[in-house]
Amino acid sequence: MDITSSIKKYKNSVTRKYISLSNDEIDTITKGDYWFSKKYDGQLWFYCKTNKNSKIINSNENDISDLISEIKKDLDKKLSKTKKIILAGELYFLTNERERYGDTISGLGDKSKRKNLRLGVFDIVISDKLLSSFEEKYKFLKKYLGENSKDLSHVLKHKQIKHSDVNKHFKEIVIKDNAEGLIIRNDSVVYKIKKEETADLLITGYTLGSRPNQIRSISLGVFLNKDEILHVGSCGNIPTNLRKDLYKKLVK
């Protein structure tokens, strides 16, 4: 099993084809039955197991198995009878409030915070069992991983709903409970729905990754007055073509 090519194929054919919608566009969702789950604000990582060897990597082959060894051990134990599997999961930082991407980064960098990191699995990329539908995958994950978010690894909770109920759940989970968004899916399409918020921001800096001639992330701020800029956050969720375009402009 070529793990790297399987993960890259999954990203290109599945996660990069998520249809992003704002709450004002919910009515454009094709009518039918869907599975829905809360969208977590974390990082995408893959648990990969071949026979007795396992690791947790991303699509760039960065390996964090040693950093989150307890999560890997938890998955190894739960999937001890499985010979071959690749799981897609959201690595997030467990808090009483809404989880944040920045806390995940902080948790990976600070050993004292790693006990709060969790891997919420949401899909099976490859398995030695024939699992063709999302319902079959979800039943498998729920059986072996469980849904308890206190566990180091678990499957993200999903629920079947009608198209007409999407807006109601969005209001309850995103508007009322302040979640990042909703994921709505069936076996042919995946929608990512977020509350739309806009702001005019200034790029104050950038970081470079391992890929040449493209930026990894940008730092953002707003002018308080003509002499002062307030830092408001950073962003790394940038399409590849925009990463290259920003590099050309910012590197000067």
Q: What percent of the chain has pLDDT over 90?
A: 71
Is it the case that residue 211 has pLDDT exceeding 90?
no
Sign of CA dihedral 190, 195, 199, 202: negative
Residue 239's pLDDT is 79
Is it the case that residue 230 has pLDDT exceeding 80?
yes
Report the chain's mean pLDDT, rounded to a whole number: 92
How far apart CA 52 and CA 128 sit, in angstroms, is: 14
The identity of residue 176, as a single letter, is K
For 220, the enclosing helix (H) or strand (E) is: strand 215-225
Mean pLDDT (whole number) for 128-142: 93
* Residue 195 pLDDT grade (very low, low, confident, very high; cuts 50, 70, 90): confident
How far apart CA 152 and CA 94 sit, in angstroms, is: 10
Is it the case that residue 1 has pLDDT exceeding 80?
no
Closest C-alpha among 37, 24, 46, 41 to residue 153: 46
Stronger pLDDT, 123 or 16, i.e. the higher one: 123
Q: In the sheet that 53-57 helps form, which strands lie side by side, from edge to edge?
A: 53-57, 43-50, 84-93, 117-127, 153-155
Beta carbons of 113 and 106 less than 8 angstroms apart:
yes
Number of H helices, E strands in the chain: 6, 13
The identity of residue 132, as a single letter, is S
pLDDT digits over 36-63, tens only?
Answer: 999 999 999 999 999 889 999 998 889 9
Stronger pLDDT, 13 or 54, i.e. the higher one: 54
| Number of Cβ within a 10 Å radius of residue 85 | 21
Residue 37: strand pairing partners: 183
Residue 212's pLDDT is 86
Residue where the block lists tokens 């807006």: 167
Residue 53's pLDDT is 93
* Burial class of residue 143, CB neighbours in 10 A (0-12, 13-18, 19+): exposed
Is it the case that residue 202 has pLDDT exceeding 90?
yes
* Residue 15 pLDDT grade (very low, low, confident, very high; cuts 50, 70, 90): confident
